[in-house]
Amino acid sequence: MRVIERSVYTGPNLYSLRPMVRIRLDLGNLEYWPTDRLPAMTSELLQVLPGLHNHGCSYGVPGGLVRRMQEGTWLGHVIEHVAIELQSAAGATVTRGKTRSVKGQPGVYDVLFCYADPISGLAAGRAAITLVASLLPSEFQSVDGLDRITDAMPTDPCNALAILSMMRRLVRAHGLGPSTASLAAEAKRRGIPVMRLNDASLLQLGHGSRQQRIRASVTGATSLIGAELAANKAAAKTLLHEVGLPIPRGEVVRTADEALQIARRLRWPVVVKPLNGNHGRGVTVGVCDENALQTAFLGAKKVSRLVILEQELPGFDHRILVVNGKVAAVAQRVPAQVVGDGIHSIAALIEAVNADPRRGNGHENVLTRIPVDDVTHKMLAKQGLSPDSVPALGQIVTLRDTANLSTGGTAIDRTDVIHPENASIAIQAAAVIGLDVAGIDMLSPDISQSVRTNGGGIVEVNAAPGLRMHLNPSIGTPRDVARPIIASLYPKAHQSRIPIFAVTGTNGKSTTVRMVSRILCEAGYRVGMTSTSGVSIDGHLQVAVDASGPRSARMVLRNPTIDAAVFEAARGGILREGLGFGRCDVGAVLNVTADHLGLKGIDTVEDLARVKSVVSESVSRKGHSVLNADDPLTRKMARHAGGKVVWFSARPDAATTEPVQSHLAKKGMAVLLEKGEIVFYNDARTPVVCANALPSTLNGAAEFNVLNALAATAMAAAYGISCDIIAQALMAFTTSFEDSPGRLNILEAHGVCVILDYAHNPAALAALGRLIERLRSDGGRVFGMVSIPGDRRDSDLVEMGVLAAGIFDEIMFREAPDGRGRPAGTINALMAHGALSTGMPEHRVHRLLNEEEATDACLRNARLGDMVVLMPTEVEAIWQRVTDFAEAPPPQYETAPQGGLLQIAHETSLEGRISHG
pLDDT at 161: 87
Query: What band does 910 get if pLDDT is binned at 50, 70 and 90?
Result: very low
Per-residue pLDDT of 219-228, as tens digits, reads 999 999 999 9
The pLDDT assigned to 127 comes to 95
pLDDT band at 139; cut points 50, 70, 90: confident
Per-residue pLDDT, 502? 98
Q: How confident is the model at residue 364 (pLDDT cuts 50, 70, 90)?
A: low
pLDDT in tens, 726-769: 999 999 999 999 889 989 999 999 999 999 998 888 889 999 99
- Does residue 529 surpass a pLDDT of 60? yes
Q: CA nearest 497: which of 190, 234, 741?
A: 190
* Domain chopping of the chain, boundaries: 2-174, 249-311, 498-732, 745-913
Sheet containing 564-568: order of strands: 540-543, 534-537, 527-531, 564-568, 500-504, 584-589, 619-628, 644-649, 669-674, 677-682, 684-690
Q: Are 570 and 512 in contact (CB under 8 A)?
A: no
Q: 249-311 has which fold?
A: Dna Ligase; domain 1 (3.30.1490)
The rounded distance, in Å, linking the Cα atoms of 559 and 771 is 39
Query: Would you say residue 601 has pLDDT above 80?
Result: no
User: For position 32, what pLDDT does the model report?
Assistant: 86
| pLDDT for 123 | 95
CA atoms within 13 A on the CB side of 499: 23
Residue among 909, 773, 916 at smallest CA distance from 840: 916
Alpha-carbon dihedral sign for residues 622, 623, 626, 627: negative
Query: Does residue 688 carry a pLDDT above 60?
Result: yes
Longest CA pairwise span in the chain (Å): 114
Q: How many whole angstroms separate alpha carbon 179 and alpha carbon 216?
A: 6
Hey, CA dihedral for 871, 872, 877, 878, is it positive or negative?
negative
- For residue 203, pLDDT beyond 70: yes
Q: Is the pLDDT of residue 544 over 80?
A: yes
Q: What CATH code would you report for 745-913?
A: 3.90.190.20
Query: Which is it for strands 564-568 and 584-589: parallel, antiparallel or unpaired?
Result: unpaired
Average confidence (pLDDT) over 854-880: 93
For residues 57-86, average pLDDT: 93
What pTM value is reported for the model? 0.86
Output the pLDDT for position 258.
87
- Give the H or E element holding residue 182: helix 178-189
Q: For 401-436, what is each residue's pLDDT tens digit? A: 777 777 888 899 999 999 999 999 999 999 999 999
List the one residue out of 20, 22, 2 whose CA is nearest residue 11: 20
Give the model confidence (pLDDT) of 369-405 as tens digits.
888 988 888 889 888 899 999 999 989 998 987 777 7
pLDDT (0 to 100) of residue 894? 54
Report the CATH fold assignment for 498-732.
Answer: UDP-N-acetylmuramoyl-L-alanine:D-glutamate ligase (3.40.1190)
Q: Which parts of 19-89 are beta strand (E)?
A: 20-26
Dist CA 395 CA 381 (whole Å): 16
At 819, the pLDDT band (50, 70, 90 cuts) reads low
User: Which of 248-257, 419-428, 854-863 is predicted with the least confidence, judged by mean pLDDT?
Assistant: 248-257
% of the chain surpassing 90 pLDDT: 68
The predicted structure's pLDDT at residue 893: 61
Q: Which pLDDT score is estimated for 431?
A: 97
| Predicted confidence band of residue 913 (pLDDT cuts 50, 70, 90) | very low
DSSP assignment of 772-806 equals: HHHHPPTT--EEEEE---TTS-HHHHHHHHHHHHH
Higher pLDDT, 562 or 39: 562
Element (H, E) at 327: strand 326-334
Please say if the pLDDT value at position 892 is more than 80.
no
How far out from the chain centre does Cα 549 lie? 12
| Residue range 608-619: mean pLDDT, rounded | 96
pLDDT for residue 899: 40
Instruction: Give the per-residue pLDDT at 310.
Output: 87
Task: Give yes or no for residue 904 having a pLDDT over 50.
Answer: no
Q: What is the mean pLDDT of the chain?
A: 90
| Percent of the chain clearing pLDDT 70 (strictly above) | 96
Output the DSSP codes for 250-261: EEEESSHHHHHH
CA distances from 806 to 772, 796, 838, 847 (A): 11, 16, 8, 17
* Residue 915 pLDDT class (50, 70, 90 cuts): very low
**Confidence grade of residue 357 (pLDDT, cut at 50, 70, 90):** confident
Q: What is the pLDDT of residue 902?
A: 40
pLDDT at 59 over 70: yes
User: Tens of pLDDT along 695-714?
Assistant: 999 998 899 999 999 999 99
